[in-house]
Amino acid sequence: MIQRLTLTLLILMATPVAFAMGNHSAPKGSKDHNRFIKELRETYPVIALAPAELPQELRSQEAVDALEAELTRKLGFKEYTVIPAAVYAELWQKELEALGGIYDPITGQLIPENLLVAKARVRATMVESHDVDAFLETSVVERDAAYLGTVITYGGVKERAYVKGPSWGTSDVAMGVLRALFLTAELVTPEGNVIYKNAGGIQLRFKESRDDVVVTPVEELLSVQEYNRTAAHLALRGMLYDYRTLSRDIRARKTENARK
């Protein structure tokens, strides 16, 4: 048994697996990162929230409000002035009505030119009326999340990939892919340039269980406030914390986010 564990550990150390989702776009080095954080705060002190976009089957005003409250709290804590999403939503609705929508009602296809016009007009109006410097656009998306062994890491969250098992296989290193919900956050200038982009893991849509999968019921998705809060923290931390705090935070969150 000890030999097997040693073998597993050796292989795990030799083949660490990374996954693209969740890496924030802030500079990596400590000096560059700290400069980035400082410049963000000085150049874009007024941030307007855009209403969080949720998949159709998960859409609920309660979830949207909870996410917005958390994002506002986090930004406010770092002394950003936050313009509520309701302001954006009202202007957005007016633009959609003026343009007749941004989707083709027959095919469901997005009409990119209408989307660009609507966004540009809403941003221009908000810059004029509320002195907005940047817009925080967030959405809940479902993406692949890969696991190695029995633990899955997605968007900064660490969790067991298995409800039961794994019992199959010929060596001790199994890997695979599950689906998870992420909160993505993009900080965008009024001209539409993305200046920060990151994603925080919310929760798994299903887990492995020996030769089967256990699906998380739809009503349980986005319903755990602690998960939503953590996701908001993970999505925004790269634009809020200096390098030292971030380094400490990563260590702290890794332990804190470990779920059973």
Partner 1 sequence: MRKYTNEICLGLLVSLISLSSPATAELLIPEADFKEKVQRIAILPSRIQIETSDDYAAARRIDELVATKLEEAGVDIIPASEFLEVEQATARTMGGSYDAFTGDRDMAKAKTINDLAIREFERLHEFDAYLIASVVTTPSSFRGGRARWDGIEVKTKGSGGDLYGSLTASSLKISVIDKTEADADYMVEQTGIQLLLDMDGGFWKAARFVPVPLEERLTDEATNVRAVEAALAPLIELIGTPVTTETAATGGASE
Interface with partner 1 (CB under 8 A)? 3, 11, 14-21, 56, 93, 96, 100-110, 143-144, 146, 148, 169-171, 173-177
Residue for token digits 């795990």? 12
Q: Which is nearer to partner 1, 20 or 31 (CB)?
A: 20
With beta carbons less than 8 A apart as the criterion, state whether 141 and 241 touch.
no
Using CA atoms, how far apart are residues 61 and 145, in angstroms rounded to an integer?
27
Report the nearest approach of partner 1 to the CB of residue 160 (Å).
16
CA 108, distance to chain mean position in Å, is 25
Q: Which is nearer to partner 1, 74 or 119 (CB)?
A: 119
* CA triple 168-220-73, angle to 5 deg: 115
Using CA atoms, how far apart are residues 213 and 97, in angstroms rounded to an integer?
43
User: Which amino acid would we find at residue 112?
Assistant: P
Residues in the chain: 260
Q: Which is nearer to partner 1, 109 or 255 (CB)?
A: 109
Q: Which is nearer to partner 1, 80 or 182 (CB)?
A: 182
Q: Which is nearer to partner 1, 41 or 121 (CB)?
A: 121
Report the nearest approach of partner 1 to the CB of residue 167 (Å).
12
Report the nearest approach of partner 1 to the CB of residue 147 (Å).
8
Cβ burial 98-118 (10 Å sphere, 16+ → b, else e): eeeebeeeeeeeeeeebeeeb
Report the nearest approach of partner 1 to the CB of residue 25 (Å).
17
Report the nearest approach of partner 1 to the CB of residue 100 (Å).
6
**Tokens (6 digits) for 102:** 């941004």
